[in-house]
Structure 1
């Protein structure tokens, strides 16, 4: 079976409020063919999200010039729990795109990493519940009536779900409602989704967001005809990774994740990973395709 991709780009995003490198900053791992067609790994550790976005754009431009298709995996959710767009009364269909457009309007992320992720969470809370729920987590100085440092209550049957189907399948994935502290993917999603949206809009139909635009199904070469880039959500913690001596864990994780997908692709097994787990119900598949997204490899 032919490989689906020529290059594998894994992005460990960060919601940091100032320029930063090393641990807990943005890492971009790239596994691509060298002049002898052997897979070679390179990494980048830009101090700001703006520089990371520029680097990603230049990498994608390079792949396009060489007619190479790339898998780009982001380590934050590309969708919200089912019902989010409807609860916010967001205009437009499908719900995932309505949420992307809304975040793009609300999120302000400056060149020096200064950002308003807590204000965005607070404002969405105000519209959803009028109180500090469902988003939670912030430094004490950013506390507002509609955003508190600690979780104010549990999710009840009438609330939006705490977790997406994919989070439960991945076992251990954090909730998107968590905006601060370790594993706070909420802050990363608020700032990361608009970046993914910009990368996609700049390249038109050549970029597809999985599973929203590809379908939640195993992918074949025919499915990807004309596609230059597939954007996917990844969760590096699904793999056991041991950093090398003096190596930052984030770097080890982006490298191991890129190598993992490349190996599966080489064996003709990566395409199947874009489909749902065997026991996924029709509802779960529909929720993933329309609003929630999925984590590549979760539940497989």
Structure 2
């Protein structure tokens, strides 16, 4: 049984507005073979998203030179709830590339981590509803007519869903509409999707996005011929990781998540994680594949 991947890159992203290291900053975990072909782990804690993006590019380039394929996992949503693209009148089928292009156009993320994520959330709200919904969460000083510090109302049957199908399958995943406070994956998605888009654009078909470009299927070596990296959304909380005293939780999460996927790959069980989760309706799978994305391992 051969492995699908020879390296595992796990990225804990951050929406921080200034440079920083340690807790609640960007952590990159890399599990790969050393010169003696032993699996070894190394971690990186770049102070800014710009540094992180450059580093990820360099790691992928190095692995390509060595002829090694990577699983590249990001801990934020790669897609928005069903109906988001239609609500913004974005053309394109499937909808996810149009959403990525739109987000990339709007987001300004400077070298010092200064960013406009609250302005982007506000403008998306204006286009979607004309009010401070569905995006919410910002410091009081950044409040606008169409973006408020606290959630203004619950989601009704005629609104965009609060959660994606995969968030519900993962049990406990935060909503992408939340842009601030603990667990604000919305801010991370707005700032992270453009970075993933650039990494993908620089490498074209050699980087495949799961499940958007691969579909839901148990991947084989033949499926990945010529592929340098498969990008997937990951959610370390699925693994119930506990950080030992004195260790940074983010670092422990990227390390243990990388080791988890490596163990599954070694035993031939990782391939099936890319297939449709058992019992999920075909219509749900179609929405995940075309627009929402899916968390690797959710619903299993």
Residue by residue, what CA displacement relative to the aligned partner does 1:154-213 show, whole Å, maximum 9, x if unpaired?
Answer: 101111100000000000000000000000000000000000000000011100110000
2:265 corresponding residue in structure 1: 265
Residue 51 of structure 1 and its aligned partner are, at CA, apart by: 0.2
1:169 corresponding residue in structure 2: 169
Mapped to 2, the partners of 1:276 and 1:156 lie a distance apart of 29
Mapped to 2, the partners of 1:227 and 1:293 lie a distance apart of 20
Is the counterpart of residue 93 in structure 1 residue 93 in structure 2?
yes
2:201 corresponding residue in structure 1: 201
The 5-angstrom pairing of residues 2-151 of structure 1 reads 2-151=2-151
Q: Would the aligned equivalents of 1:9 and 1:31 in 2 still touch at CA under 8 Å?
A: yes
Q: Would the aligned equivalents of 1:5 and 1:69 in 2 still touch at CA under 8 Å?
A: yes
2:152 corresponding residue in structure 1: 152
TM-score normalised over the length of structure 2: 0.99
The 5-angstrom pairing of residues 181-200 of structure 1 reads 181-200=181-200
Consecutive unaligned residues in structure 2, runs of 5 or more: none
Residue 242 of structure 1 and its aligned partner are, at CA, apart by: 2.3
Mapped to 2, the partners of 1:160 and 1:43 lie a distance apart of 38
Residue 145 of structure 1 and its aligned partner are, at CA, apart by: 0.3
* Worse-matched range after superposition: 87-96 or 45-54: 87-96
Residue 92 of structure 1 and its aligned partner are, at CA, apart by: 2.4
- Residue 199 of structure 1: SS of its match in structure 2? helix
Structure 1 residue ranges, 4+ long, deviating more than 2 angstroms after superposition: none
Consecutive unaligned residues in structure 1, runs of 5 or more: none
Mapped to 2, the partners of 1:34 and 1:262 lie a distance apart of 15
Residue 91 of structure 1 and its aligned partner are, at CA, apart by: 2.3
Mapped to 1, the partners of 2:294 and 2:241 lie a distance apart of 22
2:299 corresponding residue in structure 1: 299
> What count of residue pairs does the alignment treat as equivalent?
300
Mapped to 2, the partners of 1:271 and 1:94 lie a distance apart of 24
Residue 37 of structure 1 and its aligned partner are, at CA, apart by: 1.1
- Residue 124 of structure 2: SS of its match in structure 1? helix
1:274 corresponding residue in structure 2: 274
Residue by residue, what CA displacement relative to the aligned partner does 1:134-164 show, whole Å, maximum 9, x if unpaired?
Answer: 0000000000000000001010111110000
2:242 corresponding residue in structure 1: 242
Residue by residue, what CA displacement relative to the aligned partner does 1:50-75 show, whole Å, maximum 9, x if unpaired?
Answer: 00000000000001101100000000
- Residue 286 of structure 2: SS of its match in structure 1? helix
Residue 223 of structure 1 and its aligned partner are, at CA, apart by: 1.2
Q: Would the aligned equivalents of 1:26 and 1:52 in 2 still touch at CA under 8 Å?
A: yes
- Residue 190 of structure 2: SS of its match in structure 1? helix
Q: Would the aligned equivalents of 1:27 and 1:251 in 2 still touch at CA under 8 Å?
A: yes
Mapped to 1, the partners of 2:92 and 2:272 lie a distance apart of 31
Mapped to 2, the partners of 1:164 and 1:236 lie a distance apart of 17
Mapped to 2, the partners of 1:115 and 1:60 lie a distance apart of 26
TM-score normalised over the length of structure 1: 0.99
Mapped to 2, the partners of 1:83 and 1:242 lie a distance apart of 36
Mapped to 1, the partners of 2:139 and 2:24 lie a distance apart of 17
Q: Would the aligned equivalents of 1:216 and 1:288 in 2 still touch at CA under 8 Å?
A: no
